[in-house]
């Protein structure tokens, strides 16, 4: 009998990525023997190039949480945290991480993760990050270095904001790494890594923008989370990541040339009846099930905001080796959830138009106020600005209790029917010679 | 309605003071603000909790107006359409009040960095009310005066320019020094009130003190200072007798406020609330700003860095989470702590396990519940708080 795992269809680049991740976790499992220091940090605003320049191994607690959810282990971790007194109201990433730690801190490859030697609190776009690492500081009793990334409240990065981040890097973060590793900061190493980052970023943007083709060769949400994996985590700035993105770009380019769609876990995607932009993080407990709901309806995601949480590249930003610290500062401040609601709205509108989407679907997750607060206004405004329908589903990041498959499916189907109705009505008006707005 | 176990608020000199405080609290049309604007031709700026630099608004010749949602005083209808069920209550009622025109008289809004919801509300404001000044006030979480302090001072200068452009009056160093002096005096007056609560909580009750401090949301600062001192004098002079109540600290309520009925419920349950973090925005920084630095912007920034109170919205660089709370509990001679946090308040609720851990290590009893600003049923909380207070009275070594 073939297991479900065996039956899942994968793109070739996914296998490459899997090997990269396995190697990283292998290193983590043997960090002590390898003499490597371990730094826990967050995906948004991560300083991967800098960490690599100090030869430390990063761990991303959000990644641990989401992979626990995909392996259906998050429920008992969350229960453990709630038993310890954590409220049912708060972020389930945090509870999943704390529960996982309390139950042995076993990572996705089945090996225990090493405790952190340092917590790099890259406080970017999410207030909860700050609380999370205050909690982990108590759990592990290890030092924390804070990098406070100012928020783009007025929709811009000012000189003052950039200077503040650079000064923290120079006076707090880099000295903390020097103390941790006993090595001096080598800016040339950082610059070399940033040059590799920029190369990979070019390729990743090309991959994401390939969704402007019809049919789209990628799914920019469910598939997108795989495409952003190396870039948003431990591999940005490495030769491995540069090679991965070059391969991915070739792979996707091949599908563009042959007119093929993305490969989903259910197999190659057939007719693409709906093109959607999705706002909000995915649900991880029922990731494949949710993707299947889209697949069955012929809905492909052509752009998503989630693929911008760990770096915002498709509007021109690249890591710039000629001004390394300033560029790192701009990278941190540019991450999606560090942008104001009006900026997010402008971006989503642009995506709907540029990717010729039928509409916007919001996946509102209970755990993430940073994403979720204001999404209902985004929904209305997108409809008003583009004339295209917006839909709304509610799930959670890693808490299965907040995933109601029937409810979600029903909402998706209703939303797609609404798009269909809108198309028919536009077609009828067009046939009568009336003006038809896009 | 006055109850047998609460002081009679209508008696003596306290009566008119409390009646005014109560009227100001309940007036969601902000009549006092309107009257001030008409009398002085001034503009008014709404300030959400906590870290609004009111001195800058005052120095620009405008009235800072404290905004704390609408409590249980409005029925939220339109506001609910903007937020999912798992978002706290305060942004709903704030939007509701704004959409129903009751904030039309405010000329601008400041949204200090305290959580993701208030942060995103600042962006919603820009979309919904594009004609109003709307500024997110990012406060540093780096507490090195040369880094975070310098950043904040420069942010304050930029904000002052925006405020000056709106009011037409430049925020000069001289004007800001004068405003700082007015607010320092106000904080001293509130400090006197807090000291009286600590010394004689039967004379200055938490619910009365709350109303008196909240009056500062809408009154000009000097008028409020005098108002607070009038209350302190009247409360001090009253002949209210102490009761065998349990002294408690209430924490977690720094943003969305508990309904007044809930505060009174805690008092009726047999507690004296000798310290709380409601109205924290009116009480920071701790101590005077003037004298911190000759440059008034730097002085404000450094006062924030050095003497803003420990709270969930502020990073704790020392790693001593809960230690300030335990210290405060001992200093105020509180016998227990009540964690009262709004439902879905990530900062307060994420903080709680660390704070309770610190209290456990110190042997301080605590209890916890959640509320919403529009909560209408207090019986369960009364029973919980009453049991907590009784257990301390009966079983502690007091």
pLDDT tens-digit series, residues A388-414: 999 999 999 999 999 999 999 999 999
Split at pLDDT 50, 70, 90, the class of B7 is: low
Question: Helices (H), strands (E): how many in chain A?
Answer: 20, 10
- The shortest CB-CB distance from A87 to any of B146, B319, B349 is to B349
**Burial classification of residue A104, based on how many CB atoms lie within 10 Å of its CB (0-12 exposed, 13-18 middle, 19 or more buried):** exposed
Which of B84, B111, B352 is opposite residue A87, by nearest beta carbon? B352
Tell me which H or E stretch contains B337. strand B336-342
| Nearest to A87, CA basis, from B88, B350, B250 | B350
- Name which of B81, B113, B126 is nearest A376 (Cβ-Cβ): B81
The residue-averaged pLDDT of B315-322 equals: 92
Residue in chain B nearest A345 by alpha carbon: B127
Chains A and B form CB pairs within 8 A to the count of 166
Indicate the SS3 state at residue B336. Answer: strand
SS3 of residue B22 by DSSP: helix
Q: Is the pLDDT of residue A435 over 90?
A: no
Q: Are A366 and A330 in contact (CB under 8 A)?
A: no
What tokens appear for B41 in the block? 């031709």
High-pLDDT (> 90) share of chain A, %: 91
Count of structural domains, chain A: 1
Q: In the prediction, which pLDDT does A434 show?
A: 72
**A438: pLDDT strictly greater than 80:** no
Q: Alpha-carbon distance A65 to A43, whole Å? A: 12
Mutation site for A-interface testing, chosen from B124, B133, B342, B361 by largest number of A Cβ within 10 Å: B124
Give the torsion sign (CA, B217, B219, B225, B228). negative
Is A177 inside any structural domain? yes
Distance to chain B for A46, nearest Cα, Å = 17
A319, part of any domain: yes
Cα within 13 Å of Cα(A353), Cβ side: 12
Residue range B110-131: mean pLDDT, rounded: 98
In a mutagenesis test of the B interface, which of A153, A156, A343 is the best target, namely the one with the most B β-carbons within 10 Å? A153
Note down the domain range covering B337: 14-395
Does the CA dihedral B37-B41-B42-B44 come out positive or negative?
Answer: positive
Predicted pLDDT at A8: 66
Q: Tokens 């929709």: give the residue.
A: A155
Q: Is A168 on the interface with B (CB under 8 A)?
A: yes
Q: The tokens 């952190």 sit on which residue?
A: A116
CB contact under 8 Å between B349 and A377, yes or no, is: no
C-beta atoms of A90 and B81 within 8 A: no
Give the distance from residue A189's alpha carbon to the nearest chain B alpha carbon, in angstroms.
26
Cβ contacts (< 8 Å) between A133 and chain B: which residues?
none
Please indicate if any CB of chain B lies within 8 Å of the CB of A375.
yes
Contact B370 A89 (CB under 8 A): yes
Q: Which residue has the higher pLDDT, B344 or A9?
A: B344
Q: Which domain holds residue A79?
A: 4-431
Residue A44 at interface with chain B, using a CB cutoff of 8 Å: no
Q: What is the pLDDT of residues A328-368, one digit of tens each?
A: 999 999 999 999 999 999 999 999 999 999 999 999 999 99
Q: Which residue in B has a C-alpha nearest to residue A161's C-alpha? A: B151
Instruction: Report how far residue A401's alpha carbon sits from residue A421's, in angstroms, rounded to the nearest whole number.
Output: 33
Question: Domain for residue A422, yes or no?
Answer: yes
* Residue A374 distance to chain B (closest CA, Å): 6
Contact (Cβ atoms closer than 8 angstroms) between residue A364 and residue A251? no
Backbone angles phi, psi at A352, to 5 degrees: -60, -40
Predicted local confidence at residue B2, as pLDDT: 41
CB contact under 8 A, B315 and A369: no
**Measured distance CA(A125)–CA(A102) in Å, rounded:** 27
Q: Which residue has the tokens 């609380």?
A: A131
What's the CA gap between B110 and B63, in Å, rounded?
12
- pLDDT confidence of residue B398: 61
A171 close contact with B: CB closer than 8 A: yes
Using CA atoms, how far apart are residues A72 and A75, in angstroms rounded to an integer? Answer: 7
For residue B346, give the nearest of A128, A146, A160 by CB distance: A128
Q: What is the pLDDT of residues A241-279, one digit of tens each?
A: 999 999 999 999 999 999 999 999 988 999 999 999 999
How far apart, in whole angstroms, are the C-alpha atoms of residue B393 and residue A357? Answer: 66
Burial pattern A415-428, b for ≥16 Cβ within 10 A else e, equals: bbeebeeeeeeeee
How close, in Å, is residue A77 to chain B by CA atoms?
Answer: 16
Write down the pLDDT at residue B1.
36
B84, B108, B371, best to mutate vs chain A, most A CBs in 10 Å: B84
Select the residue from B108, B120, B128, B135 to test the A interface by mutation, using most A Cβ atoms within 10 A.
B120
Q: How far is CA B177 from the centre of its chain?
A: 23
Closest approach of B123 to chain A, Cα-based (Å): 5
Confidence of residue B319 (pLDDT cuts 50, 70, 90): confident
Q: Can you tell me the distance from the alpha carbon of A145 to that of A120, in angstroms, rounded to the nearest whole number?
A: 5
Is it the case that residue A1 has pLDDT exceeding 80? no
Q: Which of A148, A165, A168 best tests the B interface by mutation, with the highest count of B CBs <10 A?
A: A148
User: Does the structure show a pLDDT above 50 at A63?
Assistant: yes
Cβ-contact A215, A272 below 8 angstroms: yes
For the domain that residue B292 is a member of, what is the CATH number? 3.40.50.11900
Helix (H, G, I), strand (E, B) or coil at B139: coil
pLDDT at A179 exceeding the cut of 70: yes
| Digit-coded pLDDT (tens) for A291-305 | 999 999 999 999 999
Question: In sequence order, what DSSP letters do the residues of B25-88 get, joined into one string?
Answer: HH-TT-HHHHHHHHHHT--EEEE-SS---HHHHHHTT-EEEE----TTSS--STGGGGS-TTS-
Q: Is the peptide bond before A177 cis (omega within 30 degrees of 0)?
A: no
Residue B302 neighbours by CB distance under 10 Å: 21
Position with higher pLDDT, A436 vs B65: B65
Pairwise CB contact (< 8 Å): A375 & B84: yes
Tally the domains of chain B.
Answer: 1
Rg (Cα) of chain B, in Å, rounded?
Answer: 20
CA angle B187, B192, B194 (to 5 degrees): 90
**What average pLDDT does chain A have?**
94
Question: Over pLDDT 70: what percentage of chain B?
Answer: 97
Chain B residues within 8 A of A364 when measuring between CB atoms: 84
Contacts of A375 in chain B (CB under 8 A): 84
Give the C-alpha distances (Å, rounded to integers) separating B171 from A271, B65, B74, B179, B264: 63, 18, 36, 10, 41
| A151 interface with B at CB cutoff 8 Å | yes
A413 vs chain B: nearest CA distance in angstroms? 21
Contacts for A281 with CB less than 8 Å, ≥ 6 apart: A306, A309, A363, A365, A368, A371, A397
> Residue A184, class by beta-carbon neighbours within 10 Å (0-12 exposed, 13-18 middle, 19+ buried)?
exposed
Rounded to an integer, the average pLDDT of B87-97 is: 97
Predicted pLDDT at B395? 84
- Residue B276 backbone phi and psi in degrees, to 5: -150, 165
| pLDDT one-digit tens code per residue, B25-46 | 999 999 999 999 999 999 999 9
Q: Are strands A267-268 and A263-264 parallel, antiparallel or unpaired?
A: antiparallel
* pLDDT average, residue stretch A166-190: 98
Nearest partner of A208 among A67, A315, A331, judged by Cα: A315
Distance, in Å, from the CA atom of A290 to the CA atom of A282, rounded to the nearest integer, reads: 9
B32: left (phi over 0), alpha (psi -120 to 50) or beta: alpha
Report how far residue A4's alpha carbon sits from residue A288's, in angstroms, rounded to the nearest whole number: 11
CB A390 within 8 A of CB A379: yes
Angle at alpha carbon of residue A224, lines to A218 and A229, rounded to 5°? 135
Instruction: Indicate the pLDDT class of residue B3, thresholds 50, 70 and 90.
Output: very low
DSSP structural state of residue A281: P
Residue A437 lies in a domain: no
Residues 79-138 of A with CB under 8 A from B: 84-87, 89-91, 94, 121, 123, 126-128, 130-132, 134-135, 137-138
Q: In the prediction, which pLDDT does A189 show?
A: 97
Q: How many CB atoms are located within 10 Å of the residue B214 CB?
A: 22
- The band of B8, judged by pLDDT with boundaries at 50, 70 and 90, is low
Q: What are phi and psi of A396, to 5 degrees?
A: -135, 175
> Which tokens in the block code for residue A122?
């890259």
Tell which phi-psi region holds residue B335, choosing left (phi > 0), alpha (psi between -120 and 50) or beta.
alpha
B122 and A373 within 8 Å at the Cβ level: the answer is: no
Q: Find chain A residues with C-beta within 8 A of B344's C-beta.
A: 89
Residues of A with Cβ-Cβ distance to B155 under 8 angstroms = 160
Closest residue in A to B153 (Cα–Cα): A160
Tell me if B9 is assigned to some domain: no
Is the pLDDT assigned to residue B297 strictly greater than 60?
yes
């Amino acid at each position: 009998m073939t297991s479900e795992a065996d039956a899942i269809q994968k793109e070739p680049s996914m296998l490459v990525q899997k090997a990269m991740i396995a190697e990283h976790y292998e290193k983590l499992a043997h960090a002590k023997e390898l003499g490597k220091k371990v730094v826990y940090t967050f995906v948004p605003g991560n300083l991967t190039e800098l960490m690599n320049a100090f030869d430390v191994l990063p761990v991303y607690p959000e990644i641990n949480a989401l992979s626990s959810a995909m392996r259906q282990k998050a429920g008992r971790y969350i229960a453990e945290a709630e038993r310890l007194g954590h409220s049912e109201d708060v972020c389930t990433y945090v509870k999943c991480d704390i529960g996982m730690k309390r139950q042995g801190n076993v990572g996705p490859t089945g090996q225990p993760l090493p405790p952190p030697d340092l917590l790099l609190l890259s406080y970017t776009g999410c207030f909860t990050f700050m609380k999370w690492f205050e909690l982990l500081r108590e759990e592990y009793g290890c030092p924390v270095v804070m990098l406070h990334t100012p928020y783009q409240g007025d929709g811009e990065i000012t000189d003052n904001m950039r200077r503040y981040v650079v000064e923290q890097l120079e006076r707090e973060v880099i000295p903390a790494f020097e103390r941790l590793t006993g090595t001096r900061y080598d800016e040339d190493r950082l610059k070399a890594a940033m040059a590799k980052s920029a190369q990979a970023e070019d390729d990743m943007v090309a991959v994401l923008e390939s969704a402007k083709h019809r049919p789209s060769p990628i799914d920019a949400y469910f598939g997108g989370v795989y495409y952003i994996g190396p870039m948003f985590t431990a591999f940005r700035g490495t030769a491995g990541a540069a090679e991965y993105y070059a391969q991915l770009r070739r792979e996707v380019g091949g599908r563009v040339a042959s007119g093929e769609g993305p490969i989903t876990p259910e197999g190659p995607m057939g007719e693409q009846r709906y093109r959607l932009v999705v706002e909000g993080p995915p649900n991880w407990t029922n990731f494949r099930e949710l993707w299947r709901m889209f697949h069955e309806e012929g809905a492909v995601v052509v752009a998503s905001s989630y693929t911008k949480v760990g770096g915002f590249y498709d509007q021109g930003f690249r890591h710039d080796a000629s001004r390394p610290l300033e560029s790192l500062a701009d990278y941190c401040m540019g991450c999606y959830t560090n942008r104001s609601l009006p900026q997010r709205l402008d971006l989503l509108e642009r995506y709907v138009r540029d990717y010729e989407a039928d509409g916007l679907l919001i996946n509102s997750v209970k755990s993430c106020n940073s994403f979720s607060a204001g999404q209902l206004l985004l929904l209305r405004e997108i409809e008003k600005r583009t004339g295209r329908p917006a839909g709304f589903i509610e799930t959670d990041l890693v808490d299965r209790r907040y995933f109601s498959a029937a409810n979600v499916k029903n909402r998706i189907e209703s939303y797609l029917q609404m798009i269909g109705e809108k198309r028919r009505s536009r077609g009828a008006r067009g046939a009568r010679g009336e003006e038809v707005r896009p | 309605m006055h109850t047998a176990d609460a002081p009679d608020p209508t008696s003596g000199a306290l009566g008119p003071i409390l009646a005014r405080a109560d009227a100001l609290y309940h007036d969601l049309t902000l009549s006092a603000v309107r009257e001030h604007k008409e009398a002085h031709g001034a503009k008014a700026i709404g300030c959400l909790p906590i870290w609004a630099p009111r001195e800058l608004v005052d120095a620009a010749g405008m009235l800072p107006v404290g905004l704390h949602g609408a409590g249980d005083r409005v029925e939220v209808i339109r506001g609910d359409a903007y937020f999912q069920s798992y978002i706290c209550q305060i942004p709903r009622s704030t939007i509701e009040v704004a959409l129903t025109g009751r904030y039309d008289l405010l000329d601008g809004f400041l949204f200090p960095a305290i959580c993701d919801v208030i942060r995103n509300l600042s962006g919603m404001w820009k979309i919904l009310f594009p004609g109003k000044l709307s500024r997110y006030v990012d406060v540093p979480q780096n507490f090195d005066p040369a880094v975070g302090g310098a950043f904040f001072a420069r942010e304050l200068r930029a904000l002052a320019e925006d405020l000056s452009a709106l009011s037409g009056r430049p925020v000069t160093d001289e004007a800001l020094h004068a405003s700082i002096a007015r607010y320092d005096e106000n904080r001293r007056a509130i400090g006197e009130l807090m000291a009286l609560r600590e010394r004689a909580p039967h004379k200055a009750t938490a619910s009365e003190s709350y109303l008196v401090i909240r009056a500062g949301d809408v009154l000009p600062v000097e008028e409020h200072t005098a108002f607070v001192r009038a209350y302190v004098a009247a409360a001090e002079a009253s002949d209210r007798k102490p009761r065998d109540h349990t002294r408690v600290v209430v924490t977690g309520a720094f943003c969305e406020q508990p309904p007044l009925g809930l505060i009174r419920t805690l008092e009726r349950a047999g507690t004296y609330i000798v310290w709380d973090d409601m109205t924290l925005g009116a009480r920071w920084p701790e101590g005077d700003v003037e004298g911190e630095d000759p440059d008034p912007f730097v002085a404000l920034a450094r006062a924030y860095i050095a003497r803003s109170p420990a709270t969930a919205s502020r990073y704790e660089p020392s790693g001593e989470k809960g230690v300030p709370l335990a210290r405060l509990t001992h200093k105020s001679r509180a016998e227990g702590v009540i964690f009262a946090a709004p439902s879905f308040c990530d900062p307060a609720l994420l903080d709680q396990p660390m704070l309770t851990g610190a209290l456990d290590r110190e042997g301080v009893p605590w209890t916890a519940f959640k509320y919403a600003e529009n909560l209408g049923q207090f019986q369960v909380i009364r029973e919980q708080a009453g049991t907590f207070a009784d257990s301390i009275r009966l079983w502690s070594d007091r």
